[in-house]
Amino acid sequence: MSKVFNTTTSLKSELDNYRSDSKTIAFVPTMGGLHAGHLSLVDIAKENADIVVVSIFVNPTQFGKNEDFDKYPNTFENDKQLLDEKAVEIIFAPSKDDIYPQGTDSDINLGEIANILCGASRPGHFEGVVQVVKRLFEIVKPDIAVFGEKDFQQLLIIKQMSSQYFPDIEIISHPIVREADGLAMSTRNLYLSTDERRFASKLYQVLLNAKQNYLNNADIQTIKNKATTTLDEAFSLDYFEILDANTLMEITTNTDKIAILCAVFLGSTRLIDNIIFNKG
Ligand code: AMP
């Protein structure tokens, strides 16, 4: 059975015990609403450390004013059962006051990478993400931390922050886990109606097409025009970009990995997805 800790103090003292026994600690931060994508991160964590800590905390500072903070799914009992089945040692489910004892104000500035793509449509989002991940890293002090490529921009931003403030923490990433029809697993998929859910897999089809066209040497602007037209007919388009996967900037002659990234609205649900591949 996973042990549940709701306070920073109790968690820290438990982890100190493990550390004094020279156990290594892997950390998987989540907002709950767990699915097989999260569980794949847990598997990687288990393979790479003695003890796994999974946090479940819906971080208010990464949600915009009109976003879904108030209705974000809370499935704690189910999450706990899934983590029990994975034999996760520790679940950390803190309160907001425990995470932010001095309040939520922060002066984090992440530069341009946080202002493009999801950062452009969700101002302050990545600053909130970095604020909570920094705080969680300070509390858990893991040897490794595992993140999903589903949130690819977030992954790059966290790697950047971590190399600056926590150079000893190894960041490991895991590819996107998908439903049978290709839809990237997401807690927010719970918001979709039956019809919307059926329709949602079209997003991945557009990404796959764009990748194929890129590999067939089609012109980037032409691929983008085609994809954005298709996506805008099917969904309400937020962005569709083809970029250097290491920098999230324009592709150059030095680019070795490509990222095709997109975000759309289906009804009021925002879906994001991406494909990462070698330039070839
Ligand atoms: P969240 O609970 O949405 O904040 O996600 C917690 C972690 O799970 C993040 O590192 C996500 O990138 C990762 N994650 C979410 N969905 C998936 C997925 N479908 N495949 C792989 N990782 C995922």
Is 60 a residue whose pLDDT tops 80? yes
Could you give the CA distance from residue 267 to residue 151 in angstroms, rounded to a whole number?
21
Phi, psi of 249 (to 5 degrees): -115, 180
Q: What is the mean pLDDT of residues 110-117?
A: 96
Asked whether the predicted pLDDT for residue 25 surpasses 80, the reply is yes
153 has pLDDT over 80: yes
Which pLDDT score is estimated for 229?
Answer: 96
Q: Band of the pLDDT at 48, cuts 50, 70, 90?
A: very high
Average pLDDT over residues 259-275: 97
Tokens in use for 129? 């993400």
Q: What is the pLDDT of residues 90-108, one digit of tens each?
A: 999 999 999 999 999 999 9
Question: Which residue has a Cα nearest atom 13 of ligand 1?
Answer: 148
Of the residues 27, 35, 40, 41, which should be mutated to test ligand 1's pocket, given the most ligand atoms within 8 Å of the CB?
41
Check residue 146 and give its pLDDT. 98
Q: Is the pLDDT confidence value at 9 over 80? A: yes
CB 34 within 8 A of CB 41: no
Residue 107, burial from CB neighbour count under 10 angstroms (0-12, 13-18, 19+): exposed
Q: pLDDT digit string (tens) for 224-253?
A: 999 999 999 989 999 999 999 999 999 999
pLDDT at 89 over 80: yes
Using one digit for the tens of pLDDT, what is the confidence trace for 163-206?
999 999 999 999 999 999 999 999 999 999 999 999 999 999 99
Mean pLDDT of 255-259: 97
Q: Which residues contact 56 (CB under 8 A, 6 or more apart)?
A: 30, 31, 32, 34, 76, 79, 91, 92, 93
Per-residue pLDDT averaged across 11-26, rounded?
Answer: 98
| Ligand 1 center to 44 CA (angstroms) | 13
What is the DSSP secondary structure assignment for residue 178, as one 8-state letter? B
Q: Tokens at residue 146, please?
A: 């595992």
Q: What pLDDT sits at residue 280? A: 74
Query: Which residues have any ligand 1 atom within 6 Å of their CB?
Result: 30-31, 37-38, 40-41, 147-148, 150-151, 174, 176-177, 184-187
The structure tokens 């907002």 sit at 31
User: What are the residue ranges of helices labelled H in the chain?
Assistant: 8-20, 36-48, 76-85, 96-99, 118-121, 125-140, 152-165, 194-200, 202-215, 220-234
| Cβ-Cβ contacts under 8 Å for 186 (sequence gap 6 or more) | 35, 37, 150, 271, 272
| Ligand 1 nearest-atom number relative to CA 187 | 3
Q: What is the pLDDT of residue 234?
A: 87
- Split at pLDDT 50, 70, 90, the class of 155 is very high
Q: What backbone phi and psi angles, to 5 degrees, belong to 206?
A: -65, -40
**Nearest-atom index, ligand 1, CA of 154:** 12
The per-residue DSSP string of 253-264 comes to: TT--EEEEEEEE
**Three-state DSSP class for residue 173:** strand
Q: Confidence band (pLDDT; 50, 70, 90) for 45?
A: very high
Task: Please give the radius of gyration of the chain, using alpha carbons only, rounded to the nearest integer.
Answer: 19
Of the chain, the percentage scoring pLDDT greater than 70 comes to: 100
What integer best gives the mean pLDDT of the chain? 97
Counts for the chain of helices (H) and strands (E), in that order: 10, 9
When pLDDT is cut at 50, 70 and 90, the band that residue 12 belongs to is: very high
Distance, in Å, from the CA atom of 187 to the CA atom of 205, rounded to the nearest integer, reads 20
Contact 89, 5 (CB under 8 A): no
